[in-house]
Structure 1
Amino acid sequence: MRFLMVEDSEDLAQSVAERLRLDGHAVDRAGSLSEAEDCLSAAPYDLILLDLSLPDGDGRDFLTRQRRARHDVPIIVMTARAAVSDRVDVLDLGADDYLTKPFDFAELEARCRAVLRRRGGASETVQRFAGFTFNPLTAQLVIAGEPRELRNRELRLLEILLAAPDRIFSKAQLCDRLFSYAESVSDNAIEVYVARLRKKLEGSGAHIDTVRGLGYRLTSA
């Protein structure tokens, strides 16, 4: 998944980004509201982590603009403001969750997973499709009782495809979801990860089809 972190503290942003990247997420950082707007105009995001106190304004204004424009990207507010009134305020403005600084990285990761599950309409962590079960928390794919471990990019690629079976994703769309601006990506990177995931899915009823000239889609036999 691709995250946008709107945070002016470079140290905190780097620490959070490093932790999320270990889970296979791509993370872009914006140090101000204007930078955040530029990022959103250039790429799609699965989740936004938003500080409230930023050099060029209040994160609540950014949140309000996103929701008035009917942009439904999940937003988790991260702030040192701990008053109940502050939490109620941002939740009423349309935030999906609220995390008070300082926070534990494990809690942040859990809240990200919960928000993304709700967005996908899933209440359970384990997903089932075409003869396999998939648990993103353990990075484990199980086919016919046999567990198969997924590497980070393979895991995130499967999450993307599994969220919309039969939908065609272009290489550009998959690159946007899997890699951040800071990462150098070769033309065949997506082909490599698709090939690896196809091998992991062998023995199930799921297939990753190549739609010539368009991209890839996850289908069931």
Structure 2
Amino acid sequence: MRILLVEDNAALADGLVQLLAGAGHAVDHVDDGASAEALIAAERFDLVILDLNLPQMDGLEVLRRMRTRRDPAAVMILTARGTPEERVRGLDLGADDYMVKPFEITEFEARVRSLLRRQAGLRAAEVTIGGVMLDLTARRFLAEGQPMDLPAREHALLELLFMRAGKVVPKETIMQSMTSLEDTLSDNAIEQYASRLRRRLAPHGVQLRTARGIGYYIDKGV
């Protein structure tokens, strides 16, 4: 999934980018509010992790502009400003979660997973189709109970399709969700990943189908 981190503390930002990228997410980072506002207006993100004390534009103003545009991205406020009044204001402006610094990394990771599940319309931490299960907590796939050894890009694509099972995921959405601004992903590469996954999944009763000219989807009816 694609995440934007808006944080002006360089050391904290570096650590969180490594943590999120290590979990398989496509992560972009900016360190001021104006850059965040411009990037959010131009790009699609699944989750924005937003500090409030930012140069050039306060984080709450970034959030207000997002929700005025009806941007559907989930927003986690991550800030040292933790008074009840500020929490209420942030949530009322449209934040989905609010964490106060300092924080426990394990709780941060759990909240990120919860927000991304909610974005995908999922309540449970597992998605099972045919003989394949996606464990969203561990972020791994099991086929007939055995771990699937998937390259990073194939894993990211299959996770996206499983989280939106039964719905066509356009190629444009796949590109946006799987790549940061520093990455590139061609149509041909997506087709190759989909073809490899189709072969891996078929023996386990899972059909990865092509919506010609649009994108791909996992057939939930199998």
Shorter-chain TM-score category? Answer: 0.7 to 0.9
Whether 2:30 is the aligned partner of 1:34: answer: no
When residues 71 and 186 of structure 1 are mapped into structure 2, their CA distance, relative to the original with a 3 A threshold, is: closer
Whether 2:62 is the aligned partner of 1:62: answer: yes
When residues 99 and 167 of structure 1 are mapped into structure 2, their CA distance, relative to the original with a 3 A threshold, is: same
Secondary structure at 1:202 match in 2? helix
Q: Structure 2 stretches of 5 or more lacking a match?
A: none
Structure 1 position 60, deviation (Å)? 0.9
Structure 1 position 68, deviation (Å)? 2.8
TM-score, with structure 2 as normaliser: 0.87
- 1:41 partner amino acid: A
Secondary structure at 2:207 match in 1? strand
Q: Provide the residue aligned with 2:47 in structure 1.
A: 47
Structure 1 position 25, deviation (Å)? 0.3
Q: Provide the residue aligned with 1:18 in structure 2.
A: 18
Q: Provide the residue aligned with 1:139 in structure 2.
A: 139
Structure 1 position 129, deviation (Å)? 2.2
Report if the CA contact (8 A) 1:75-1:96 is conserved. yes
- Number of equivalences: 221
- State the alpha-carbon separation in 2 of the partners of residues 187 and 121 from structure 1: 27
Structure 1 position 166, deviation (Å)? 4.0
TM-score, with structure 1 as normaliser: 0.87
When residues 81 and 119 of structure 1 are mapped into structure 2, their CA distance, relative to the original with a 3 A threshold, is: same
- State the alpha-carbon separation in 2 of the partners of residues 167 and 118 from structure 1: 16
Report if the CA contact (8 A) 2:113-2:136 is conserved. no
When residues 125 and 35 of structure 1 are mapped into structure 2, their CA distance, relative to the original with a 3 A threshold, is: same
When residues 41 and 94 of structure 1 are mapped into structure 2, their CA distance, relative to the original with a 3 A threshold, is: closer
- Computed over aligned residues only, the root mean square deviation of the Cα atoms, in angstroms, reads 2.2
Q: Provide the residue aligned with 2:162 in structure 1.
A: 162
Give aligned-pair identity as a percent: 38
When residues 120 and 166 of structure 1 are mapped into structure 2, their CA distance, relative to the original with a 3 A threshold, is: closer
Q: Provide the residue aligned with 1:83 in structure 2.
A: 83
Structure 1 residues 140-159: Cα deviation after superposition (integer angstroms, max 9, x where no partner): 32333444244443332223
Secondary structure at 1:81 match in 2? coil
Secondary structure at 2:73 match in 1? coil
Report if the CA contact (8 A) 2:134-2:162 is conserved. no
Q: Structure 1 stretches of 5 or more lacking a match?
A: none
